[in-house]
Amino acid sequence: MKDDQIGTYMYLPKHQHQELSRQFHLLKAEYEYEYNEEFEKNPHFYPLAVKYGLDSLDSLDASEIQEKLDSLDS
């Protein structure tokens, strides 16, 4: 699987990093309990977070992007 993936590094504010980690652990526990299969951060969680995060940004116009950027600070 690593051959199909490219390492990507990003810097997040501490509160976003904590929320990302919290969400991963919640989904991991739920998925592994339900399916008795491992749910890993790199091959499973990050692609889901990026895919569905990108989908939610897909239809934004420039002013909506600005609003979203402004809301990151609050």
Check: CB of residue 69 under 8 Å from CB of residue 62: no
pLDDT of residue 73: 75
Residue 4 lies in a domain: no
Residue 27 lies in a domain: yes
Q: Which residues contact 32 (CB under 8 A, 6 or more apart)?
A: 38, 39
What does pTM read for this prediction?
Answer: 0.82
For residue 30, how far is the Cα from the chain centroid?
A: 16
pLDDT of residue 68: 94
Residue 43 lies in a domain: yes
Residue 2 lies in a domain: no
- Nearest alpha-carbon partner for 47 in 24, 19, 30: 24
- Residue 58: give the domain boundaries: 11-72
Average of per-residue pLDDT across 28-51: 97
Residue 57 lies in a domain: yes
Average of per-residue pLDDT across 32-61: 96
Average of per-residue pLDDT across 21-39: 98
Q: How far apart are CA 5 and CA 3, in angstroms?
A: 6
pLDDT of residue 7: 86
Q: What is the domain count for the chain?
A: 1
